[in-house]
Amino acid sequence: MNSVMKGAGYILVHTPDMIMHNGTTQTTERIVNPDSDYLKQIKSHLRPYDRVCAYYPNQTYIGNITPFELAKVEGPWQDLEAPTDDRYGLFGEIMPQDEFYLLIQAADEFELVYLDKDFVAGTLPKLAEDPIITEYILKRIREGVDQERLKKMVEEEGAEGLYKDDHLVGAVRRAHDIDPNLSAHVMIENLVSKASSVLALLYAVKNAGISPEDVEYTIDCSEEACGDMNQRGGGNFGKATAEIAGLTHSTGSDVRGFCAAPAHAVMVAASLVKAGTFKTVAVTAGGSTAKLGMNGKDHVKKGLPILEDCLGGFAVIISENDGKNPEINVENVGWHAVGTGSSPQNVIASLVTQPLAKAGLKVTDIDYYSPEMQNPDITKPAGAGNVPEANMKMIGALAVKEGDLERRDLAAFVEKHGLPGFAPTQGHIPSGVPLMGHARESMLKGEVNRVMIVGKGSLFLGRITNLFDGVSFIMEPNKGESAASSVSSDEIRKLIAESLRDFASGLLESR
């Protein structure tokens, strides 16, 4: 019996100051070309928080607008006003930067994060009003230090600053004097990933209607690595995140695979639950500071706002079958193998048409595909095109080549089975999983039948292999069997054994 997706959390954090101080495009520019026009222009291209909240793709990501509704609104969306600008959505929220700095401190176990005391006093009451933030988290936030102390940390002790409207309001210190794996730069990246993952995980647990103690295993699938010089990627963001989110009965581990990691992690989680190893598994990932403003040069050059101004996070809860929630079909997953080859048609065949053939389905039997759901407002001006649409064209083109679709129906196929991209370009965040929350809602309402989640990853960026990677799985409505109502395999074995014994004794008697 397949496991089910019980709920999801999707969060964004608006981080305008972190674009300049932590996004690699900007930090590289500050080293290579410190007087560049680009650096001077950034500030006038930053969006205020209310514009970020009124942005169609962001409202779609947190669940207030469905992707099916978004598909009816012609883009680019950056100049439009969404019908809602709520901070809170069906799946999560858009947290402002100042409150998030407090959450970073709450995620810190080693007294590495220091905040200005006036800043804490002014911001803590705001964070306390956020209904998802627990007492445990609020208690972890310390009173704060004075400006002089913060300045000394940043200017003399190698700490990374945290800024609000260019003013220093916090510092993240290095965790070791010489180990580059514990530098202030790495620690801020890791703590940001952890803190945003905590936020997404809190929402996933709440939205699944379970108690935090129900989660037995937490898999992190972000793109960061934690460890020291003796074990650089030692890991376990999963367990570390579960701790802050109050999942006291959970252990965990990390799944990595560049942008494909979330799809791998959901597949692993669904298999662990199906196997009976755990009853409830959380899959979670936080955001990446490095990618803030990644395509900022192109956006500024084209007179656009810097659209990569938010961190993204997501989490899903996978549980044993409850007879109600959508199932994750782990029997017909697709995977790009070592020997698959890197040509687009080999890739799409391995991820889409081969698993569908195994399941006895055609390309048109999937209502919606969720490949890489990057927001085209961000990627098109940067020369990367409309990524989800390009993926849909490839799926359609392969179906034409394999004879499942007429060439003349290709455009209509893309239109009917594809959805617009609405996820921030945070690497692993857009890859397949953004649709899972909306897909669950639509399946529970009986509006959508089958969805295919496709995760792809550029492994070659790590320079350890030249391979590409990807996995895919199908989400489908519940077939109505629940783990509680069905007979277990142990019971079946017992019944068979009993009837064999009866049969054998019957044979003996007849002799």
Partner 1 sequence: MDLENQKRIKDLTEEHNPEDIVVLLGAAEGEASGIAAETVTNGDPTFAGPLTGVSLGLNVYHVCEEEVKADYDPEVYEEQVSMMEMVLDIDEIAEEMKAIREEFSKYSA
* d(C-alpha 232, C-alpha 230), whole Å: 6
Binding-residue total with partner 1 (CB under 8 A): 23
* d(C-alpha 22, C-alpha 249), whole Å: 34
418, 389 contact by CB (below 8 A): yes
* d(C-alpha 346, C-alpha 353), whole Å: 10
488 binds partner 1 (CB under 8 A): no
* d(C-alpha 479, C-alpha 322), whole Å: 10
Residues 6+ apart with CB under 8 A from 502: none
User: x/- contact string, 275-314, with partner 1 (CB under 8 A)?
Assistant: ----------------------x-----------------
Stretch that binds partner 1, among 88-96, 321-329, 395-403, 476-484 (CB under 8 A): 395-403
211 binds partner 1 (CB under 8 A): no
* d(C-alpha 509, C-alpha 511), whole Å: 5
Give min distance, CB of 33 to partner 1, in A. Answer: 7
Q: Which of 84, 211, 343, 485 binds partner 1 (CB under 8 A)?
A: 343
Stretch that binds partner 1, among 78-86, 240-248, 256-264, 384-392 (CB under 8 A): 384-392
Q: How far is CA 194 from the centre of its chain?
A: 12
309, 12 contact by CB (below 8 A): no
Interacting residues with partner 1 between 139 and 158 (CB under 8 A): none
Beta-bridge mates of residue 113:
172
Give min distance, CB of 291 to partner 1, in A. Answer: 15
Dihedral angle over CA of 471, 475, 481, 487, nearest 10: 10
55, 221 contact by CB (below 8 A): no
Q: Which of 400, 441, 467, 482 binds partner 1 (CB under 8 A)?
A: 400
Tokens (6 digits) for 483:
């783990």
Phi and psi angles of residue 123, each rounded to the nearest 5 degrees, phi first: -100, -30
384 binds partner 1 (CB under 8 A): yes
Give DSSP secondary structure letters for 3-60: -EEEEEEEEEEE-HHHHHHH-HHHHHHHHH-TT-HHHHHGGGGPPPHHHHHT-HHHHH
Give min distance, CB of 228 to partner 1, in A. Answer: 26
Stretch that binds partner 1, among 136-144, 254-262, 365-373, 393-401 (CB under 8 A): 393-401
Stretch that binds partner 1, among 25-33, 47-55, 227-235, 303-311 (CB under 8 A): 25-33
Q: Toward partner 1, which CB reaches closer, 31 or 484?
A: 31
Stretch that binds partner 1, among 59-67, 341-349, 439-447, 468-476 (CB under 8 A): 341-349
* d(C-alpha 241, C-alpha 285), whole Å: 9
- In 428-503, DSSP assigns E strands to 451-457, 469-476
User: x/- contact string, 455-474, with partner 1 (CB under 8 A)?
Assistant: --------x-----------
Q: Toward partner 1, which CB reaches closer, 115 or 390?
A: 390
345 binds partner 1 (CB under 8 A): yes
Q: Toward partner 1, which CB reaches closer, 47 or 297?
A: 297
Under the rule (CB under 8 A), what is the footprint of partner 1?
28, 32-33, 297, 341, 343-346, 348, 383-385, 390, 393-394, 397-398, 400-401, 407, 410, 463
